[in-house]
Structure 1
Amino acid sequence: MFTLDSRLQQDTVAVGDFPLCRLLLMNDAQYPWFILVPLREDVSELFQLDERDQRMLWRETTFLAEVLKDSFAADKMNVATLGNMVAQLHMHVIVRRRDDSAWPAPVWGKQAAVPYTAQQVERVKERLRLVLTEDFCFAEG
C-alpha cells in the first residue's frame, strides 16, 4: 500500500493524481514548486520502477513541466530527483524566474519557506485545473 513520506506530507499540499504520480505543491509561495511522487510502495530510486512506470514518470514530468512553463511564465524549469532528505522517490518540478529570490541558485536551503495562504493554494489549483484535466488523465485531490 502506498504511503506518502511524512516529511512530504508535512511540507506540501496535495493537488491531485496522475495515472502514476501524486502531484504535490511545495508549501512555499516564493516559487511555483511541484513534486511528483509515484504511487508505488518502497521505491527510492528511478531504477526500482519497472520500465513502464519509468516511461510514465518521465511522461508525467515533462507534461507537467511544459504546463507549468506556460502557466507561470518560467524563464527556466528545474527538474530533479535528489532524495537526500526524503528517501521516497519524488521528482521536483520547479518554475524559475530571473526575478525570483534565489535566482540563479537552487531554491532549497537558501531561505525559510513562505507558506501559501488557503486562497493562494486555490488560485494555483485553479490555474492548473483546466489544463491538467483536459489534456491528461488527472484526478483532483
Structure 2
Amino acid sequence: MSQNDCPLCRRDAAEDVIWHNDRVRIILVAHDLHPGYTRVIWADHVAEMTQLQASARNEIMNAVWLVEAMQRKVLRPHKVNLAEFGNMVPHVHWHVIPRWEADPLFPEAIWASAPGRAPQAIQAWHEEKSRIDALLPVYREALHGALAAIR
C-alpha cells in the first residue's frame, strides 16, 4: 500500500482529532459499542514499530500510555485493551480501547462476535454507556491538556 492509498496518511476531514503534532495524531474513533476508543497514529508511512528510530518509538508509546492513563482516570473502564496490528493498513497506529464488564462483547475482543446477553445485561450496558458518553468531553479535554503540557 502506497502513501497515496493509505487511509492513515490522508487525514479524513471527518476525523475527530483530539490532538496532533508533526509526528503523532490522536483521534477519537466513532464506535457505537466502544465509547472512548482512541487511535494513536504515527504521521509517517511506516509499517512496523522496529522501523522507527528509538526516539520515535518512545514518542508514540508515551502518547499511547498517556491515552490509557486518561481513559483510566476519566472514563474508569474495567480494562484497557492496547492493540497494534497493521494487517489491513500497514501504517504504525495503536488502538487504545477502554472496556467495561457490561459492554456487549466483554470479555471477548471488540472484533469478535457478540455473545448472547440477557435483557437485564443489555439495559445495564445502555445505562453504563450513557454515563461514559457524558464523560467523553471531559476525557477529550483532559487528554488534550495532558498532551499539550508534555509537548
Quick one: distance in 2 between partners of 1:36 and 1:63?
10
Question: Larger Cα Rg: Structure 1 or Structure 2?
Answer: 2
TM-score, length of structure 2 as denominator length: 0.70
Whether the 8 Å CA contact 1:14–1:22 is kept in 2: the answer is: no
Quick one: distance in 2 between partners of 1:4 and 1:63?
30
Whether the 8 Å CA contact 1:18–1:60 is kept in 2: the answer is: no
User: What one-letter code is carried by the residue in structure 1 that aligns with 2:74?
Assistant: S
Deviation digits for residues 66-102 of structure 1 (CA, Å, limit 9, x no counterpart): 1011221110000110111221111000000100001
Q: Cα distance, 1:103 vs. partner?
A: 0.4
TM-score, length of structure 1 as denominator length: 0.74
The answer to whether residue 74 in structure 2 is matched with residue 63 in structure 1 is no
Partner of 2:145: helix, strand, or coil? Answer: helix
- More strand by percentage: 1
1:22 corresponds, among 21, 25, 36, to 25
Whether the 8 Å CA contact 1:18–1:137 is kept in 2: the answer is: no
Q: Cα distance, 1:17 vs. partner?
A: 2.8
Quick one: distance in 1 between partners of 2:76 and 2:4?
33
Report the counterpart of residue 116 of structure 1 in structure 2: none
Q: Cα distance, 1:29 vs. partner?
A: 1.9
The answer to whether residue 75 in structure 2 is matched with residue 72 in structure 1 is yes
Partner of 1:93: helix, strand, or coil? Answer: strand
Deviation digits for residues 12-69 of structure 1 (CA, Å, limit 9, x no counterpart): 73323344321122221211211110112x2011011111110011111101101011
Larger RCO (CA under 8 A, 6+ residues apart): 1
Unaligned runs of 5+ in 1: 112-120
Q: How many aligned residue pairs are there?
A: 126
Among all aligned residue pairs of Structure 1 and Structure 2, give the percentage whose two residues are the same amino acid.
Answer: 19
